[in-house]
Amino acid sequence: MKIGLLGYGKMGQTIAKSAKERKHEIVYIADKNMEEGDIEQADVVINFSVPDAAVFNIKKALQLNIPVVCGTTGWLDKFEEVIQFCKEKNTAFLYSPNFSIGVNLFLKLNDLAARLIEPHKQEYKVSMKEIHHVYKLDAPSGTALSLAKPLIRIDYFKEWELNGTGLEKLNIEAIREGEVPGKHIVTFRSGVDEISLKHEAFNRDGFAQGAIIAAEWLADKKGIFTMQDVLNNS
């Protein structure tokens, strides 16, 4: 498979390495102040550019009817615009805030925990913490926002807040330090005990491998998808 990469920072470079290990060819790379190859040769494009460039890059590929796998977060105010554009071009778009297989299993565990805790939500206070490297520009992380959805859905809170008090809104504490690839912790605490769910990435390899798996799955499809579609239909 021939792959185009939009964004060639640490994540893009790790994806390129993973792609080559799986015998794929990188035919196009675009990043700030650089462009190599021909995007029109790509069977699929993987976007991990900065948030400000995400919509432009996604549309650039969709315009050419090239399926796009996107892992960039921090641009979702334009999500519906991109979805509509994809439908107009009759091609494929797959977005996930996190392509790690482990994180996607963690999301399912969190959803189950929310449903189990719902009858006891008066006793348990929920909070969340996410920790990433200092180069991550958006906060809270896309994964943290995905973790928040089932908690908001069961009316634990109506909405979330960033680094707040947690009294009326779901508090998501976001920390940026060192080279941390990603850590997410959801905590349910009562007056007598505490339940914690945690996922910690040791490096970027799991994210890259998941993105390549998603690209392999998406290459011959049309429509709008998530990583859950990949895991449920592989």
Domain identity same for 185 and 106: yes
Using left for φ > 0, alpha for ψ between -120 and 50, and beta otherwise, residue 14 falls in alpha
Q: Which residues have a catalytic role annotated?
A: 132, 136
Same domain? For 20 and 48 the reply is yes
Same domain, 222 and 173: no
pLDDT at site 210? 94
Digit-coded pLDDT (tens) for 112-134: 999 999 999 889 989 999 999 99
Q: What is the reported pLDDT for 164? A: 87
Looking at residue 71, its pLDDT comes to: 92
Could you tell me the CATH number of the domain that includes residue 30? 3.40.50.720
Examine the domain organization and report whether 94 and 120 are in the same domain: no
Half-sphere exposure of 180 (CA within 13 A, CB side): 17
Q: What is the pTM of this model?
A: 0.78
Cβ burial of 159 (10 Å; 0-12, 13-18, 19+) is: exposed
163 and 148 in a common domain: yes
Confirm if 21 and 27 have CB atoms less than 8 A apart: no
Regarding whether 161 and 108 lie in a shared domain, the answer is yes
Give the model's pLDDT for residue 186.
96
The predicted structure's pLDDT at residue 3 = 98
Instruction: Say yes or no: 112 and 175 in one domain.
Output: yes
Binned average pLDDT, 10 residues per bin, the chain of 234 residues:
95 94 96 93 96 94 97 91 96 93 92 93 92 91 92 81 86 95 95 96 92 95 94 80
| Count of residues making up the chain | 234
pLDDT given for residue 33 in this prediction:
86
Domain count for the chain:
2
**Residue 166 lies in domain:** 101-201
Shared domain check, 163 and 108: yes
Q: Say yes or no: 86 and 18 in one domain.
A: yes
